[in-house]
Structure 1
Amino acid sequence: MRWGSLEPGDAGRLAELYAAVEAADRTGEPHGVDEAAERLAHPLIDLAEGTIAARDGDRIVAFGYLPVRQSAEGGKHYLRFSGGVHPAYRGRGLGRRIVDWAVRTAPGLSARAFPGADAELHLLAHSDNDGLRALAERTGFAAARTFADMERRLPGELPALRTPEGVRLATWTPELDDGARRVRDESFRDHWGYVAHTPESWRSQITGSVNFRPKSSFLALAGDRAVGVLITHVFEAQNARREERQAWIQIVGTLKEWRGKGVAGALMAHALAVLSRQGYHSAGLGVDVDNPTGAVGVYARAGFAITRRHITYALPVVQGEARDEAGAGVHE
């Protein structure tokens, strides 16, 4: 076993590991080679310091991935840690070693990116992944928030389109992109774990991603001003496993002063009708179940139902202070 960092040429090997983890855990999040390459080239990841990988020969059998995130709104810096261990290599302490690495590494990465910010490390675990949840709790994380995947079949019974007075719906274009980003940031500002996008992070993660589908993404405009946005991504590796075409509604947001007027409902009804015409078999989205805007109810009225729950675990970290957890996993 050889330990080191992920490297720019690891996309194929990383995609193979993602596929093996998905086959065992049914996370619903397989990544193809293009998606793995995008993650390795992400502007917010430092491969040398923000990743770790265990290799058995030419094979990656475990990894950790720790980008710095793009902003520290209100002096709070969130780091979202992810990783995985090949099913054939579990039970050897690799997962514990990777989590301990993230806990030790996060303070320095955060301090370098946003000196003086309060930092918090986040780890997402599916509610039925008892092993990962137990590992999170053993390493000091606490359950902080529950999120859910919601899905519906297409076409099915589609919601009626009712566009609010003074609002028109438009398909995304590059000229509308800055407005889409501003709506997303303003509409999510009061959500738990909010992180504002920079123009660069928005393009790299959202509208410049290989998963972005511009013809399936829409804005609500009042005059020339964007007041609502719906962004769609498609994950081809996931669809290949499911043997169906699913569109994933990555973002739905409405400016605070326009909430309760039917903007989100109109965007959703329009998007579902277009997705049906485009040949998608289903639509999915993720939602904070404690969302203060009542989003779960909006999506339920559009025919979505919860199919899976996830728990975000959080761990406060002190910038510049590396925690060295006790246990065999740290130095094995």
Structure 2
Amino acid sequence: MSLAERADHLTPPLPDWSAYEPTDADIDDLVALLRRHEKEARGWPGADSEMVEAEVAGRGADTRNHLMVRDPEGVARGWVSCHDRARGRVLVGVTVDPNLPDDLADPVAAWCFERAEELATVIGVDRGLERTQMDSGAFADDDRQPRWLTAAGFRHVRDWWQMTRPVAPEEATSLPEPREGVTVRLVARDGGGRLPDEQDLRDVHMVLEASFADHFNSYRETFEEFLHRLRADPGHRWDHWWLAEVDGQPAGALVAVAVTGRTTRDGQEQPDGSYVEYIGVHSRARGRGVAKSLLYAVIADAAERGRNRVGLEVDADSPTGADGLYRSLGWETVYTTQSWHRDLALPAG
């Protein structure tokens, strides 16, 4: 039975409410719901229609399943999102309207996590697995999400610092050059100049896989999964992929995305920014200043484009002390998010 067919037979979480698979017509209401949640849980909203549309109907929608909940007046009150991230990994998003009092929010949240378990089970069985990991999250300052996650069988496993650094216009040309023997360049383009060179992309993937192999919760993602997922991001740009080489060999990589302007904590509008999705350095090249050179490259690029910031995420418990490098280059923590995991045993296919 397809998701749409299952959704037609869903019993909603509360009497006279409705639950179904969202379409393009629901995007504005999902954006409004997510922004209400972000403002309450983090302090300011950041979601926009481009971001939500990419998840629900964009290039990467084929790896995602969604359900939404509306109250009797038609107001969007809940959203379940399950992303088949890679073999053995399902990213779970559950958003419940912060305007709902606990006596209504609690059963809606419980219903959403039950549906997420069902969807994750279908994904895992379809992949022929015996177990899969449900990977969800929360803002550290959220009072209710951790309670719902705990009730759904998840455990809090990690904190992540969301950091940002201001960018000055003069940094387009004033930052230090890489050390001797180190080069940093954008991934090459094919003969027509439109598509990136496949070998460069494979080198980026190889370097990132190798550099994260000993990191928390590391798992292998195929080259095809890696490309498909990153291209699905609405901020994806091929000219935001950098490859570092040491003595002519691939040694580091950085993948960034464009971030549209957002409303800040104090209600001010910001221009566009850049965000570092991935940065990694191969073990054979550590100690050569590769990471710093890659960061200088994305800062200079942001300055040249007239952007005012570069954001990134760092593991609060990282054994590499990466946060020390970021702080030394001007990054500061803006807020903290949490990872919550649940290991799900699957029935035989």
Identify the TM-score tier after normalising by the shorter chain: 0.7 to 0.9
* Stretches (4+) displaced over 6 A: 156-159
Q: Which consecutive residues of structure 1, in runs of 5 or more, have no partner in the other structure?
A: 72-76, 322-332
Alignment correspondent of 1:52? 67
Alignment correspondent of 2:181? 166
Residue 153 (1) aligns with residue 166 (2): yes
Per-residue CA deviations over 1:134-158 (Å, capped at 9, x if unaligned) read 2212222211111111112222997
Alignment correspondent of 1:303? 330
Alignment correspondent of 2:4? none
Alignment correspondent of 1:259? 286
Paired residue type of 2:258:
V
Per-residue CA deviations over 1:21-79 (Å, capped at 9, x if unaligned) read 233333667332222222124255353xxx321124655321111122223xxxxx222
**Percent of aligned pairs sharing the same letter:** 19
Alignment correspondent of 1:111? 125
Mapping of residues 10-29 of structure 1, within 5 Å: 10-26=26-42
Paired residue type of 1:285:
L
Alignment correspondent of 1:5? 21
Mapping of residues 126-141 of structure 1, within 5 Å: 126-141=139-154
User: Compared with structure 1, are the counterparts of its residues 64 and 226 closer, same or farther at alpha carbon in structure 2 (3 Å cutoff)?
Assistant: same
Q: Which consecutive residues of structure 2, in runs of 5 or more, have no partner in the other structure?
A: 1-16, 189-195
Among 98, 104, 112, the alignment partner of 1:87 is 98
Q: Which moved more, 1:209-218 or 1:259-268?
A: 209-218
**Does the 8 Å CA contact 2:36/2:45 hold for their aligned counterparts?**
no
Residues of 1 paired with 2:300 and 2:235: CA distance?
Answer: 20
TM-score (norm 2): 0.79
Among 291, 310, 313, the alignment partner of 2:318 is 291
Paired residue type of 2:52:
A
Per-residue CA deviations over 1:109-149 (Å, capped at 9, x if unaligned) read 21222423x32212211111121112212222211111111
Residues of 2 paired with 1:46 and 1:279: CA distance?
Answer: 34
Q: CA deviation at 1:208?
A: 5.0
User: Compared with structure 1, are the counterparts of its residues 294 and 150 closer, same or farther at alpha carbon in structure 2 (3 Å cutoff)?
Assistant: same
TM-score (norm 1): 0.83
RMSD: 2.7
Alignment correspondent of 1:78? 89
Q: CA deviation at 1:230?
A: 1.3
SS of residue in 2 equivalent to 1:88? coil
Higher relative contact order (CA 8 A, sep 6+): 1
Residues of 2 paired with 1:289 and 1:110: CA distance?
Answer: 30
Q: Which moved more, 1:60-69 or 1:23-32?
A: 23-32
SS of residue in 1 equivalent to 2:150? helix
